[in-house]
Amino acid sequence: MRTLIRDVRAFDGVRAVEGADVLMVDGHIAEPDGLRADVEVDGAGRTLLPGLIDAHTHTFDGSLARALSYGVTTELDMFCLPSNLRRQRKLAADRDDVADLRSAGVLATAPGGHPTGVMAAISTMLENPEDAVGPFDTIADPARAASFVAARAAEGSDYLKIVIDDGAMAGTPVPALGRDTAAALVDAARAAGLKTIAHACTAREAALALDAGVDGLAHVWADTPAGDPVTDVLAARAAGRGVFVVSTLAYFESIGGDGSDRLSRAAHAAGALHRAGVPLLAGTDANPFAPSHGDGLHRELELLVRAGLSPLEALAAGTGVTARCFGLADRGRIAPGLRADLVLVDGDPTREIVASRSVVDVWRRGIRRSR
């Protein structure tokens, strides 16, 4: 199957190219060769984007289909119990009307630690309650790090999520992993070839995660107000260590509302990280409720622009930057040889980010899904 999109503004994951022709052949992007295409699409007045990547989700039944309908062609799940993960992986592998999936599988948390209480509450509202709760592995001391990581690798986890959260942000104290256990998990994951992403919501927790040597943070921190020097110091530390940070501004908005102190502090941290040169990845913490899968990522892009990124930088945070930081070499850009995961939108989101919402067509592995 040969599909040619003619005369389109193409954001290639880094920059915008006007009047481009983009050819898809058998599920991959190819160099335009002048030969007749089976399908031609007029791209005039429209923008072609790499398939969007949400760098922080929690995936349940229906999540991947909803995500794809909004142009999110890949979700990076940050906690999924084995039975649910097996079902979602099979769905993503077998069908092209849902988004692709990568997952941390079972996260590393202390017994009784976050997100035990949250998931118990969610389970009461799910069709399959066992997808949210049920016995899952926890870790209490550094001596278990190697066996914990080995179990996750055997289950097919693509990376390891480490919870460093004592409940201070939520005002409900919970057990949390100590620095030594977190560092032992990072070392064991690195030996197993897995990246590590830390769940941390306060500046203190983020500092502990950096001390442990993680590759990335699953949230910006949201407890330091504008003008607090801790923010710039921590951003500089993250930059110096080569750490990436998933923004999840839409999550902070969903729990506090637009204009809340929590959102404004999270946005301030995101801006400081961006100014320090830390790679920001667009992620939402999408779940069955709010933020929602798919459209939540478009809101995330808007909030990143509000925090100080340009529209081009925000689009990169939702495509090429995330693909690079998570080692997804086959997607996140528009280039020959890569997967034909693409989104066609009306207007120009490289100038007005809100135009990313105007999805016309989505291709996953070259299969077209008209909106």
Mean pLDDT for 140-154 is: 97
The two tokens of residue 68 are: 């794809």
Angstrom distance (rounded) from CA 170 to CA 199: 14
pLDDT recorded at residue 170: 84
pLDDT band at 260; cut points 50, 70, 90: confident
pLDDT recorded at residue 181: 98
Helix, coil or strand: residue 354: helix
pLDDT recorded at residue 256: 87
Over residues 234-249, the pLDDT tens digits come to 999 999 999 999 999 9
Indicate whether 168 pLDDT > 90. no
What is the residue-averaged pLDDT of the chain? 95
Angstrom distance (rounded) from CA 119 to CA 78: 13
Angstrom distance (rounded) from CA 304 to CA 354: 12
DSSP for 174-206? -----HHHHHHHHHHHHHTT--EEEE--SHHHH
pLDDT recorded at residue 42: 97
Mean pLDDT for 292-303 is: 98
pLDDT recorded at residue 34: 87
pLDDT band at 192; cut points 50, 70, 90: very high
Mean pLDDT for 175-203 is: 97
Over residues 336-358, the pLDDT tens digits come to 999 999 999 999 999 999 999 99
Angstrom distance (rounded) from CA 136 to CA 113: 12
Phi, psi of 350 (to 5 degrees): -70, -15
pLDDT recorded at residue 222: 96
Burial 10-22 (b: 16+ CB within 10 A, else e): bbbbbebeeebbb
Kindly report the number of other CB atoms within 10 A of residue 130's CB atom. Answer: 11
Residue 131 or residue 254, greater confidence: 254
pLDDT recorded at residue 258: 77
pLDDT band at 271; cut points 50, 70, 90: very high
Mean pLDDT for 76-99 is: 96
Mean pLDDT for 147-169 is: 96
* Cα–Cα–Cα angle for 278, 279, 283, rounded to 5 degrees: 125
pLDDT recorded at residue 303: 98
Residue 279 DSSP class: P
pLDDT recorded at residue 169: 85
> 73-77, 130-134, 233-237: lowest mean pLDDT where?
130-134
Indicate whether 229 pLDDT > 80. yes
Over residues 19-68, the pLDDT tens digits come to 999 999 999 999 999 889 999 999 999 999 999 999 999 999 999 999 99
- Residue 362's nearest CA partner among 102, 72, 75 is 72
The answer to whether the CB of 198 falls within 8 A of the CB of 212 is: yes
Mean pLDDT for 283-288 is: 95
Indicate whether 295 pLDDT > 80. yes
pLDDT recorded at residue 177: 96
Ranked by mean pLDDT, the top range of 127-131, 255-259, 288-292 is 288-292
The two tokens of residue 263 are: 């959102």
pLDDT band at 12; cut points 50, 70, 90: very high
The two tokens of residue 365 are: 């592995």
Write down the H helix ranges in the chain: 63-69, 82-94, 116-123, 145-155, 179-191, 203-212, 229-240, 249-256, 261-276, 295-306, 311-317, 320-325
Using a pLDDT cut of 90, give the percent of the chain over it.
Answer: 89
Residue 357 DSSP class: G
Phi, psi of 46 (to 5 degrees): -125, 170
How far CA 349 is from CA of 141, 182, 305, 353, 362, in Å, comes to 47, 40, 11, 4, 16
Residue 340 or residue 119, greater confidence: 340
Indicate whether 17 pLDDT > 70. yes
Mean pLDDT for 134-162 is: 95
Angstrom distance (rounded) from CA 204 to CA 222: 11
Kindly report the number of other CB atoms within 10 A of residue 118's CB atom. Answer: 15
